């Protein structure tokens, strides 16, 4: 590969080795002008590290710090900001919504059937075991927040029939903070 092409006529030269640039000049693929165009690496206008490779400490404290006021799934309200994986959003003017996508099923447990059969033989009071019921809640509550041109949605697992009421209480608190 390092040998020249024996079939080349000498006029057309292409590639990084044949560009004829001066040593120390811009390499192949970089713009030949004095300033690099958008998208090309540029030298920073500041010194990014201290001597010895120590990173520069931040010049100002981050804003919006403090303890979280509210947390719903991966949505957290801190100060005047809503922090989500999609990015930070302003708290003022945020629109909060919740949708209940859970369901509660009521069924007769297996142990009730077994006890009813066993005690039916002894007395008819065993049929009262058929009145036993158990409730099981499955699904999620979807919480969405929209603010500052951004939108984020999260799903909170429903652990019981009262989960939606708890989420709505938290959501109403978030709405009061957004005013």
pLDDT of residue 60: 46
What are the structure tokens assigned to 1, written together?
A: 């590969």
Q: What is the mean pLDDT of residues 151-173?
A: 93
Average pLDDT over residues 102-116: 90
Q: Please return the burial class of 156, using the count of CB atoms within 10 Å of its CB with bins 0-12, 13-18 and 19+.
A: buried
Mean of the per-residue pLDDT values of the chain: 78
Residue 165 clears pLDDT 80, i.e. is over it: yes
pLDDT of 63-73, one tens digit each? 556 788 899 99
Residues 118-129 pLDDT 10s: 887 777 778 888
Do residues 59 and 145 lie in contact, with contact meaning Cβ atoms separated by under 8 Å? no
Mean pLDDT, range 52-80, rounded to an integer = 72
pLDDT tops 60 at residue 136: yes
Report residue 151: phi and psi, to 5°: -140, 135
Cβ partners under 8 Å of residue 21, min gap 6:
27, 28
Distance CA 34, CA 23 (A): 16
DSSP 17: G
Q: Quick one: pLDDT at residue 86?
A: 84
């Amino acid at each position: 590969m390092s040998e020249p092409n024996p079939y080349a006529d000498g006029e057309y030269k292409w590639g990084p080795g044949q560009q004829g640039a001066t040593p120390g000049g811009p390499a192949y693929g970089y713009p030949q002008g004095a300033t690099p165009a958008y998208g090309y690496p540029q030298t920073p206008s500041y010194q990014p590290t201290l001597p010895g490779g120590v990173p520069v400490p931040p010049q100002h404290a981050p804003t919006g710090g403090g303890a979280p006021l509210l947390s719903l799934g991966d949505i957290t309200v801190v100060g005047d900001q809503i922090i989500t994986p999609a990015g930070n959003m302003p708290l003022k003017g945020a629109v909060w919504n919740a949708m209940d996508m859970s369901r509660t099923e009521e069924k007769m447990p297996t142990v009730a059937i077994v006890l009813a059969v066993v005690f039916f033989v002894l007395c008819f009071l065993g049929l009262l075991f058929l009145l036993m019921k158990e409730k099981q809640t499955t699904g999620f509550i979807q919480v969405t927040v929209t603010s500052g041109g951004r939108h984020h949605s999260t799903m909170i697992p429903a652990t019981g029939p009262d989960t939606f009421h708890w989420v709505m209480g938290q959501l109403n608190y978030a709405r009061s903070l957004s005013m």
